[in-house]
Amino acid sequence: MPLTFRPCILIPCYNHGATMASVLACLAPYQLPVIVVDDGSDLSTRQELDRLAAEDPQMTLVRLTHNSGKGAAVIRGLKVCAGAGFTHAVQVDADGQHALEDIPRLLALAERHPTALISGQPIFDDSIPRSRLYGRWVTHVWVWIETLSLQLKDSMCGFRVYPVAPTLQLVNSVPLGKRMDFDTEVMVRLYWQGNTSYFLPTRVTYPENGVSHFDALHDNLRISWMHTRLFCGMLPRIPSLLFRRRTQHWAKQQEVKGLYGMRLMLRVWQLLGRRAFTLLLWPVIAVYWLTARPAREASQQWIARVSETLAQRQQPKPARLNSFFHFMRFGNAMLDKVASWQGELKLDRDILFAPGAREKLDLTVPQGKLLLASHLGDVEACRALAQIKGGKTVNALVFSDNAQRFKQIMQEMAPQAGLNLIPVTDIGPETAILLKEKIDRGEWVTIVGDRIAVDPQRGGNWRVVWSEFMGQPAPFPEGPFILASLMRCPVVLIFALRQQQKLHIHCEDFADPLLLPRGERQQALQQTVDRYAKRLEHYALQAPLDWFNFFDFWRLPDAKEKE
């Protein structure tokens, strides 16, 4: 029979006598028992805590004879909670930085998930010291590595609800850090134990003239040693941690592309520059490579097909043609994406035109163009086209649930990027009319021709054209090519490949216009897709690590490979 949900408040206190009265006053409306653990405070704080305990019947005061650290105080408090029959303890810092009005929401979530650790996910204002903000970001990355997961969004927030029994089970089975390393270690090890965490956004402020007990030298050493222990502890747990993951189609995979994540990424980039990201890229990509089994297997399949094709053509394999460096190239492409958002990729310096490519775009022609792209290389380089003197407005048709969020972030933080995103889930008459209007105004439209839809059409049929690609039939979407034929405008193939440490834009004429005669439509469509697949293969063999389709390209989702 499950235990009745019985929560209480737990406050570790060390020399915060000046703020305790106001914290307790804010807690009073919730009518919850309060356990305060005095972690060897000075005389004035001890006297203040004695006074408060005498006046407040809801408060239980526990004393440690000497300062043992926040972790030690929380552990002692949890044992008192268990002895008093409480099932959950809301940890609150004694300095008044937490938004205590969020306690009901935290407790509601804890009641729904009684074995989970419930934590605040801080929303900071300008009062947070920059050093703390950067340090938190580094810890986030290490925690993602140590759990092989992105589930733990913030491991350092002290505003949380502990499930008492599972936490004490952990405390009794393994020694935990007793000071500033406690909050992170207990969350990671609870995750290992099978008790996951849930997060609620909450406002966190750093009070003016607040008392901080963070020792820059000793606490940073403790945290570094903690991450070393956790990383070593993660290694034998890799199979069990990976078992938690699920396989999904490319467009339904859970990616770290929420608004908060993208805002944070751009803010840190603005403050620290690309070098900070580059230093962290190796361990982050290593985690992804270890944990993303479907993407890793698709990458290995791609490398094998490229190697076989190059061997048949008696062409040499490029250096570092392996799955890990395939992931690394993708990571660097993500950095190029941020650099392009920030306007840091400059034409003729970071981005070069391959011979004849600039002429294919021909800015002197007032007519609009359709740029037929792919997920080979970084289509973000299309932003650089806006830097050309007399350049055109470039509109990118984007398929996925993340497109609207990308558009919002671009408008908020990188309005100078020079590319209009048009989020769509399907190509219908409204989309065709909108794009035709832009083409008629002389603008350019980019669309990728290598990704099929997430779901089949009514009746379970996929609107695809099968074409030979790297020695095997592969499904290509018919929608982009039908749309191109409706535009009645020049169609130009465009690829942006990383070659000789620069992004090189390759362009070539594809059709002017693309015709799909009604009576011969299917045959003409097949021939068109075959030409596209052939050119895609040609450029893919020039830069195989620039292939960013990390799924089984030769299969329909949830279907057997076509015979």
Interval 158-195: pLDDT, tens: 899 999 999 999 999 998 888 778 899 999 999 999 99
Stretch among 38-42, 60-64, 150-154 having the lowest mean pLDDT: 150-154
pLDDT of residue 501: 87
Residue 369 has pLDDT above 70, yes or no: yes
Residue 301 has pLDDT above 90, yes or no: yes
DSSP letter (8 states) at residue 391: P
pLDDT of residue 381: 61
Beta strands across the sheet bearing 34-39 = 59-64, 34-39, 7-13, 88-91, 160-163, 117-124, 197-204
The DSSP bridge partners found for residue 88 are: 7, 163
Please, what is the angle between helix 293-312 and helix 323-341, to 10°?
110
What would the two tokens of residue 406 be? Answer: 């990308």
H or E element in which residue 162 lies? strand 160-163
Cβ pair 97, 210 in contact under 8 A? yes
Residue 43: how many CB atoms within 10 A of its CB?
8
Query: Rounded CA gap, 208 and 216, in Å?
Result: 19
Largest CA distance in the chain: 94
> Which residues, other chains included, contact 400 with Cβ-Cβ below 8 Å and sequence gap of 6+?
251, 423
What would the two tokens of residue 534 be? Answer: 């052939």
What would the two tokens of residue 519 be? Answer: 């009576």
Query: Rounded CA gap, 259 and 409, in Å?
Result: 7
Residue 306 has pLDDT above 70, yes or no: yes
- Mean pLDDT of the residues in the chain: 82
Going from the C-alpha of 105 to that of each of 99, 108, 382, 543, the distances in angstroms are 11, 5, 45, 51
Supply angle C-alpha 360, 361, 366, rounded to 5.
125
What would the two tokens of residue 161 be? Answer: 């609800």
Rg (alpha carbons) of the chain, rounded to whole number: 29
What would the two tokens of residue 358 be? Answer: 């600039």
411-433 confidence digits (pLDDT tens): 444 444 455 767 666 667 778 88
Supply angle C-alpha 547, 548, 553, rounded to 5.
85
Q: Among 423, 418, 411, 406, which residue's Cα sits nearest to residue 381?
A: 418
pLDDT of residue 122: 83
Query: Rounded CA gap, 28 and 18, in Å?
Result: 17
What confidence category does residue 516 fall into, taking pLDDT thresholds of 50, 70 and 90?
very high
pLDDT of residue 59: 94
- Which superfamily does CATH assign the domain made up of 7-242 to? Spore Coat Polysaccharide Biosynthesis Protein SpsA; Chain A (3.90.550.10)
Residue 445 has pLDDT above 60, yes or no: yes
What confidence category does residue 227 fall into, taking pLDDT thresholds of 50, 70 and 90?
confident
194-216 confidence digits (pLDDT tens): 998 999 988 877 655 555 545 55
pLDDT-above-70 percentage for the chain = 77
Side chain identity at residue 439, one-letter code: I
pLDDT of residue 376: 93
What confidence category does residue 346 fall into, taking pLDDT thresholds of 50, 70 and 90?
confident
91-116 confidence digits (pLDDT tens): 998 888 888 899 999 999 999 999 99
- Where in the chain are the domains? 7-242, 344-453+461-546
- Half-sphere exposure of residue 557: CA atoms within 13 angstroms, side-chain side: 20
Work out whether the CA dihedral 170, 171, 176, 181 comes out positive or negative. positive
Query: Rounded CA gap, 48 and 40, in Å?
Result: 13
CA 398 to chain centre: 18
> Which residues, other chains included, contact 320 with Cβ-Cβ below 8 Å and sequence gap of 6+?
545
Query: Rounded CA gap, 357 and 371, in Å?
Result: 12
Q: Could you list the beta-strand ranges (E) of 418-552.
A: 419-424, 444-448, 464-469, 472-477, 491-499, 502-511
Residue 550 has pLDDT above 50, yes or no: yes
Residue 240 has pLDDT above 80, yes or no: no
Residue 497 has pLDDT above 90, yes or no: yes
260-271 confidence digits (pLDDT tens): 444 555 566 666
